[in-house]
Amino acid sequence: MAGETNEKKKLATFVKSVHKDLRRTFKAGERDVEDIWKEHCQDKGKLQEYAEAMQRLATLHWGNQQQKRVHWCREMLLEYFKGGGMEKCIEKDRRRLQRQCMKDGLVDSNIAITHQNRPPQQDTKYFDKAACLPKEPLVLDVGSCYNPFKEMTEFKVIGVDLHPATEVGRVPVRFSISRCRRSH
pLDDT 10s digits, 116-167? 555 444 444 455 666 667 788 888 888 777 778 888 888 888 888 887 776 6
Q: Are 119 and 127 in contact (CB under 8 A)?
A: no
| Model confidence pLDDT, tens digit, residues 20-68 | 999 999 999 989 888 998 899 899 999 999 989 988 888 888 877 778 8
Question: 86: Cβ–Cβ under 8 A, 6 or more apart, which residues?
Answer: 80, 129
The answer to the question of residue 115 being in a domain is: yes
Residue 121, domain extent: 75-132
Q: Are 77 and 49 in contact (CB under 8 A)?
A: no
The answer to the question of residue 92 being in a domain is: yes
The answer to the question of residue 15 being in a domain is: no
The answer to the question of residue 119 being in a domain is: yes
Count: domains in the chain: 1
pLDDT of the residue at 43: 92
Q: Are 149 and 74 in contact (CB under 8 A)?
A: yes
pLDDT of the residue at 120: 45
pTM higher than 0.85? no
The answer to the question of residue 39 being in a domain is: no
Higher local confidence (pLDDT), 79 or 100: 79
Interhelix angle 33-42/44-56, nearest 10 degrees: 70
